[in-house]
Chain A
Amino acid sequence: MINPELIMHEVTLENIKQTLLDWYDVDTHHYITVNAIDNGENLTFDWIFSEYEVKNVIHVFRAENIAYKSNIPSMMDVYPGAWVSEWDLADMFNLNMENAHRGMFLEPEAPTGPLLKESYSGK
């Protein structure tokens, strides 16, 4: 059984960028992805990192209770490769993501925000 050692950092949308700018070290930290979870009323955001050559450690920067229409900051200033995951999330959750180009994955005729609970739970 896998046993990841989770290191949780509580952040908010306002301070996430600054926190990451301070914390993220290109030599030791590896950005994995950003994730969003729909809790039914609001979203949870996770920015997920690992460390090079350190076993089983996963850093998670978790911002909770995000309203659906909040403006999400882009992390492209911190690590330039962030755009794929951010644009992807913007499409999938119909987010107001900074700098995001919509339609990277979704065609116009597809449902908007397919990963939102309201989109698939039939309401």
Chain B
Amino acid sequence: MVKMFIESLKNLTTKPVTIGYPHTPSPSPKDYRGTIYYQEDLCIFCDLCEDVCPPGAILFEVTNFEENIREYSYNPYLCIYCHACVDVCPKADEGCLVQAETRLKPLGREETLPKDIKLGYFMDRVTTPKHLDSQWDEFEDRCEESREGHDEFKAEKKRKKKEEMAAKKKLEAEVKAKEDAALENDVSKSENNPEEKVDETAKDKPKE
């Protein structure tokens, strides 16, 4: 009691330890675990980061099925800044996925929406901060669908390709056969084989 009394009086006469933030800056220390930045050109789309991210703050949405273009989306408000994605990224050393020391501004009025292209893939699509959460939900569903769609698309494409190939082969074979027939007159040898192969591959692929 008495000691604290003296300490109180002493504190009264000395300068407070309060830092002046936000009027004076208070920078994060080196290697502070801040926002994740992404460089699309370096990415090899291995999906490892999406896989490891505990809250699912990184998502890839397939935007173009034909060309297999995936778009990286990152939700900095869901991210727990755990650094796991950077650890796992094979291209992290080159700067594909970097954890910055700076942190994001809080999301409040619309003007303060972060518009940084590099990180705000998701945020850019949001017009009002309200319902950001539910939008992310929708977005998650969409990503899921797109992934499924992409898988289907891929399988479909493969099957088609295979079919085409098979047809082509068949055609070729026919031509060849004709030629051969013309040459050797042996028709019944290789008619059903290519088709069976296509079926098998079509069954296997989407399962992966």
Q: Do chains A and B touch in the complex (CB under 8 A)?
A: no
